[in-house]
Amino acid sequence: VSLDQARALDAADPLAFARERFRFPDDKTYLDGNSLGMMPASAPERVARTVEREWGEGLIESWNEAGWIDWPERIAARLAPIVGARADELLVCDSTSINIAKLLGSALAARPERRVVLVDESDFPTDRYIAAAIAEQAGGELRAVSAEAISDALTDEVAVLLLSQVDYRSGRRRDLSATTADAQRVGAIMLWDLSHSAGAIRVDLATSGAEMAVGCGYKYLNGGPGAPAWLYVRRDLQQALGNPLPGWMGHARPFEMGPDYVPAPGIRRFLTGTPPIVALAALEAGLETFEGLGMAAVEAKAAALADFFIEAVEVLAPEATLASPLGAADRGAHLVFAHRHAYAIVQALIARGVIGDYREPNLMRFGFAPLTTRFEDAWRAAAALGEVIAGRVYEGARFAERRRVT
């Protein structure tokens, strides 16, 4: 592997043009689009239009005139081709954590004879914490088992199985359809966290048959820091399912302000409060970066980048041990490598403008956001990793200091 080879791969990359849809700092090799996607070039203008014209001049009339009131559904529709769902099955609202809470509560209410929420004990913390609290509030119990034990733990006591499709640490990918079928075989509801899938790999919610899903807006979807999250509820179930946080925005007729809650007929019932309009404008710019791109090509690009990086690290930084699945079909669009000094190495890389992140207990994580990452970035990161390790650059005292965000 060489820089020339990386550049040749970039020159031949059919998705290379997508990077032009973003503002990218020239002094950074950015391999953290899996945590915070790059800023769409259109975002400043898109947000400014909402702030200056719609808010500044239109004021409250913009709820009607600019259509703000419909944005949670209208903007969610842009996500439909990205996750293989129908537009009326998607909503953008709240955070991923809150959406998990709402859908878990909804699922438990739909299976009153069952009280177990099943999760993977190594899943992202918010999923496990929220699941424990919601299960307890419902008089039930959280069962957290190892990734390998999920299948055996699926019994007829399980009301809902909550799983990330792509693990935030290892990058390991689960088969959406096969796992959904396992859950449904015992009568459990399947709730997917697709935070590390949507926009990175091909996702076909419709084919999977899954009942519910959620995901972040700020990772591969490029919606900006703290972007609104999204949720999915299969169309045929919406009428029967309730929202455990039934706010006025999910009411069938919010401005009647009547004494009783009447859920909106479709997906809109899963709204709770007033949508964050400025943040939604940024998220729309993020989703627009996928316009015209096929998700099979997006996934293929991520796989090729990660494969190239694995090869480059083997040659340039052999002391880093791959701790993600080797086969592209078994992982998402990020990789982790283990090293005893992982934290300090990541800090030393950041000081050189190579941005990855650290995950406990000893993992260096690198993301290959397929719209914005070049093969050249992968090569530069591998070369820098090799230099930092071989030259023991990470031993510098300033690289040991733990920062609030790692």
Ligand X SMILES: Cc1ncc(COP(=O)(O)O)c(C=O)c1O
Q: Which residues bind ligand X (CB under 6 A)?
A: 95-97, 124, 126-127, 164, 168, 193, 195-196, 216, 229
Residue with tokens 């990359």: 13
CB-count exposure of residue 178 (10 Å: 0-12, 13-18, 19+): exposed
Report which of 183, 182, 176, 187 is spatially closest to residue 232, judged by C-alpha positions.
Answer: 176
Min dist. Cβ of residue 97 to ligand X (A): 3
Residue 220 annotated as catalytic: no
Residue 219 annotated as catalytic: yes
CB-count exposure of residue 98 (10 Å: 0-12, 13-18, 19+): middle
Active-site residue (options: 13, 32, 193, 357): 193
Min dist. Cβ of residue 167 to ligand X (A): 8
Crossing angle of helices 125-137 and 96-110, rounded to 10°: 40
Residue 218 annotated as catalytic: yes
Min dist. Cβ of residue 36 to ligand X (A): 10
Q: What is the DSSP letter of 31?
A: -
Query: Rounded to whole angstroms, what are the CA distances from 76 to 39, 73, 204, 323, 406?
Result: 19, 5, 16, 34, 30
Asked if 180 contacts 208 with a C-beta cutoff of 8 angstroms, the reply is: yes
Q: Is 150 helix (H, G, I), strand (E, B) or coil?
A: helix
First vs last C-alpha separation in the chain: 30
Active-site residue (options: 169, 174, 219, 359): 219
Asked if 198 contacts 220 with a C-beta cutoff of 8 angstroms, the reply is: yes
Nearer to ligand X, 263 or 356 (CB): 356
Asked if 89 contacts 235 with a C-beta cutoff of 8 angstroms, the reply is: yes
Nearer to ligand X, 215 or 263 (CB): 215
Min dist. Cβ of residue 257 to ligand X (A): 30
Residue with tokens 């790059």: 38
* Cα torsion angle, 72, 264, 249, 103, sign: negative
Min dist. Cβ of residue 246 to ligand X (A): 20
Nearer to ligand X, 367 or 386 (CB): 367
Active-site residue (options: 102, 111, 365, 380): 365
What residues does 92 pair with on adjacent strands?
230
Nearer to ligand X, 166 or 345 (CB): 166
Active-site residue (options: 124, 168, 232, 358): 124
Residue 168 annotated as catalytic: no
Q: How far apart are CA 142 and CA 160, in angstroms?
A: 10
| Token pair belonging to 278 | 């400025």
Q: How far apart are CA 170 and CA 335, in angstroms?
A: 7
Min dist. Cβ of residue 316 to ligand X (A): 28
Nearer to ligand X, 146 or 155 (CB): 146
Nearer to ligand X, 31 or 66 (CB): 31
Nearer to ligand X, 214 or 304 (CB): 214
Min dist. Cβ of residue 320 to ligand X (A): 22
Catalytic residues: 124, 193, 218-219, 365
